[in-house]
Structure 1
Amino acid sequence: MASNDELDMSMEVEPSRCAFLYQPSVATIDIDKRGDLILLVGKHKCKIKANGDHQHTEAMAFRVCSRSLARSSPVMEAMLFGNFREATQTTIELTEDDPKAMQMLLHRAHGSLKEIYADIDKERREDCPEGKFVDDVYSLVVLANKYLMTQHFRPFMAQWCNLLMSWEAEEESRDTSIFYERLEKSMWIASEFGHLELYQTMFRYLTWHLEPNHHLFRHVLEPDGVADHIRLGRLNDINSILTPTRNAINALMNDADPTGLYLCNQPVREDRLNCQAHTLGHMIRNLTVNFLWPLPNAEDITETAQELVVDFQNTLWQDHTSLHENCTTKTAIGTQTDNTLERSGEYDSIPLAILQSMYSTAEGLNAFEFESMFSNAMANVVHDDEAL
């Protein structure tokens, strides 16, 4: 997989220097064939990725109705009918906006639903081999946020968020940076829509798969300052994996376990001590062979939490043979690891301020079906000063 640093190896080149970028005169697409305004959106550009692939973007022109835009967007209303230079122009350049996202935004502003569903459904029918659905919806939501038009996509929010949640079950992208980026994009979309289930799903998936050297939200808008909470969640997960093993080793070394979980259940003390010494030796040997002894601190782990738990499952009991049947130590460690991981995955991983912000967003969009997602979360929440 590509490393995080490969994100910085891509570069943009001038269109005239890329022989593969087709640069025709821009044809005008009629959003409204009787429109009184032309929008020139985006620009011809070529971005060469680290693997040498060319990513091309071409400008697009749209004929639109200025009054329809003004009714749909307070930003457009101020730009087209306020004291701005654009108010006197019949052609306006929006070079920094994404042309494809703008096309869907303009269709929605002109009251068209067919084009919105056609664009999105087409991407899903093709199974989005490179996650294009995530990228396109993110670009659209970013643009809707810019022009204060998010509420106009209210009819599509539940459908889109359900589709985005399906990415959590899929295999990681061949390019780790793309994998992270699409999870981050889904979090931004969930934040803008007030969809807690999608937000929580992506939050948990990022904490579980996060590498310590990854720079979160480098190329994606960050919702609610969540990056620090994701990093904290990763450390909590790792501690949840390490703690039962650490407690078991301490109990076996000292023949003392206040919890009563980890010591051998043999009735004869000599048999119990022999079993505990045997089990302890196996554990430490296997941890040492796999460079996990002495047990590291969570901050020193260079793996993802997912990789670490697999390592422990494959390492801790490698070649282990019990001296007697039904020894409780191995089962206790597995059970306690599962229990602590389950507790770390509850909704209280997300701080109160973020939950309140998302609830206000859902309420402001009249997304009443989303509000029910918050009842359990609010009941189990921790405050910001407890989470960080």
Structure 2
Amino acid sequence: MSECEPRIKFDPRGDLTLRVGPPDELTSNLFLVCSRTLARTSPVFDRMLYGSFAEAKPVDDKDWVVDLPNDDPASLTTFIRMTHGSFTEVPKTMTIDRLYALTTLTHYYDATQVLIPWIDPWLASVEDETRDSNVPPLKLLWIAWEFGRKALFKATARRILFECPASLLEPYLPPEGLQMPPDVIEKITEIRHQTIEAFLRVFRDMVAMLLVVDESPRWCRHASYMGHHRCESMILGSMTFCLARASLWPLPEADEVEESVVELYTKLTNLVIHDIGRQSPKGAEDHSECNPVRHLMEEMKKILNEVPDPITDMHWKQMDLQYKRLNPSDNSSCS
């Protein structure tokens, strides 16, 4: 086999050789294909191969060879098998990584419609994978977007919002990182910051109430002028001790918090705050009712229940269009 002879002949009568992958791998990924099949399948390939681009067929009868150094060989292999009728060789299941790579490739070539017969079983297999994974599936967000699957997109976006730590989100903000739907990661990051700031504000406000001067309204239900500082001091000391044990004292700024929304919520709702309780003799005031835990938990739950949706009307409209494009006979949008 010569250096330029195709390693994989997807079409034995093909007229085009694709050299795929990084420059140091081009000679090991040579695919013999039918140029007309690719052109019928993809408007990008059509313009590339039959337009005025450098990839067009040579006029001097030289071998027609096109370099695709930026394409993933495994994904392009799957794509060509579909377009060239080798359906039995198309994988029946997909991992998230493989499906993400394939959909980014078909998106680039404007040919995602080729995947239609395999979309549902592939989505079933990657959703099973995400259920067993402790890592929020950022790549699944793109997959749901490319397939116009609104319910999957919304569920994945909210999971990322609640479960992603800061370090996992930051690399995927523009201009670096994974290919993502427009403005989604930015919106998730914004809402995550607002939610964490709201959590921390609950505790900042509580600290402020426990430190008020004698003339101001006091947190202790039995407070009197210059009296019962012991109750508030006990609560303040217990709360700051617990926050320190959770590495949250002094209370940080929201952009300093690495934990996910769920992790921070769990830490704050698991604080055990002590009070001085009922003092002797019997019948004296019961300061256990001054314990702020119930108040703090109610405020935290209220914040969690009011977290806004990171998905905008623009996202819904775009996914409706994509779903209808991939399912032209279905008059409804995929929920």
TM bucket normalised to smaller: 0.7 to 0.9
Q: 1:294 to 1:95 in 2, by over 3 A?
A: closer
Residue in structure 1 matched with residue 138 of structure 2 by the alignment: 184
Tell me the residue number matched to 1:138. 100
Distance (whole Å) between structure 2 residues aligned to residue 106 and residue 167 of structure 1: 26
Determine if contact 2:21/2:68 at 8 Å carries over to the other structure. Answer: yes
Give matches, 1:149-160, under 5 Å: 149-160=111-122
Q: Distance in 1 between matches of 2:319 and 2:5?
A: 40
Matched, 1:77 2:46: yes
Using the alignment, how far apart are the partners of 1:58 and 1:202 within structure 2? Answer: 39
Give the equivalent residue in structure 2 for 1:234. Answer: 192
**Rounded Cα–Cα distance in structure 2 between residues aligned with 1:354 and 1:58:** 41
Change (3 A) 1:25 1:34: closer
Cα pair distance change 1:358/1:289, threshold 3 Å: same
Q: CA deviation at 1:168?
A: 4.1
Tell me the alpha carbon deviations over residues 283-322 of structure 1, each in whole angstroms, 9 at most, x when there is no partner: 13332455534433323334333432343244x316x367
Q: What amino acid is the match of 2:259? A: E
1:345-356 superposed matches below 5 A: 348-356=309-317
The residue aligned with 2:125 is 163
Separation of aligned partners in 2, 1:358 and 1:152: 18
Q: Does 1:219 align with 2:219?
A: no
2:293 to 330, 337, 345: 330
1:87 counterpart residue number: 57
C-alpha separation in 1, matches of 2:132 and 2:205? 35
CA distance in 1, matches of 2:120, 2:21: 29
Distance apart, 1:222 and its partner CA: 2.9
User: Once the two structures are superposed, what CA deviation does each residue of 1:325-382 show, in whole Å capped at 9, x if it has no partner?
Assistant: 98473233224323322321x5x22233233222322232227598342xxxxxxxxx
- Structure 1 residue 256: Cα displacement: 5.7
Q: What secondary structure sits across from 1:87 in the alignment?
A: coil
* Compared CA separation, residues 140 and 295, structure 1 to 2 (3 A): same
TM-score scaled to structure 1, two decimals? 0.66
User: Which residue in the other structure is 2:16 paired with?
Assistant: 37
Question: Alpha carbons of 1:102 and 1:214: their partners in 2 closer, same or farther (altered >3 Å)?
Answer: same
Q: Is this contact kept in 1: 2:21–2:73, CA < 8 A?
A: yes
For residues 332 and 243 of structure 2, the distance between their equivalents in structure 1, rounded to whole angstroms, comes to 46
Q: CA deviation at 1:71?
A: 1.6
Q: 1:59 aligns with which of 17, 25, 28?
A: 28
* Unpaired runs of at least 5, structure 1: 1-23, 47-56, 124-132, 173-178, 258-262, 374-388
Q: Could you tell me how far apart the structure 1 residues matched to 2:331 and 2:116 are?
A: 11
* TM-score, normalised via structure 2 length: 0.75
1:1-388 alignment runs, 5 A limit: 28-43=7-22, 45=24, 59-85=28-54, 86-88=56-58, 89-116=63-90, 119-121=91-93, 133-172=95-134, 183-207=137-161, 208-211=163-166, 214-217=170-173, 218-250=176-208, 278-288=234-244, 290-314=246-270, 316-317=271-272, 320=274, 323=277, 327=289, 329-344=292-307, 348-366=309-327, 368=330, 371-373=333-335
Q: AA paired with 1:41?
A: V
List runs of 5+ in structure 2 lacking aligned partners.
279-285
Give the counterpart letter for 1:352 in structure 2. Answer: D
> Does the residue aligned with 2:252 lie in a helix, a strand or coil?
coil
CA distance in 1, matches of 2:113, 2:292: 55
Cα offset, 1:59, TM superposition: 3.5
2:295 alignment partner AA: A
Contact 2:320/2:334 (8 A) holds in 1? no
- Local SS of the residue matching 1:219: coil
The 1-side partners of 2:138 and 2:209 are apart by 41
Q: Which runs of 4+ in 1 moved over 6 A?
A: 268-274
The answer as to whether partners of 1:74 and 1:147 remain within 8 angstroms in 2 is yes
Cα distance in 2 for partners of 1:322, 1:30 equals 81
2:231–2:276 CA contact under 8 A, matched in 1:
yes
% identity of equivalent residues: 27
CA distance in 2, matches of 1:362, 1:171: 27
Q: Give the Cα–Cα distance (whole angstroms) in 2 for the partners of residues 276 and 165 of structure 1.
A: 50
Q: Which amino acid aligns with 2:113?
A: Q
C-alpha change, 1:299 and 1:97, in structure 2 (3 Å) is closer
Shift of 1:73: 1.2
Instruction: Give the total of aligned pairs.
Output: 309
Secondary structure of residue in 1 paired with 2:181 = coil
Structure 1 residues 226 and 236 mapped into 2: Cα distance closer, same or farther (>3 Å)?
Answer: same
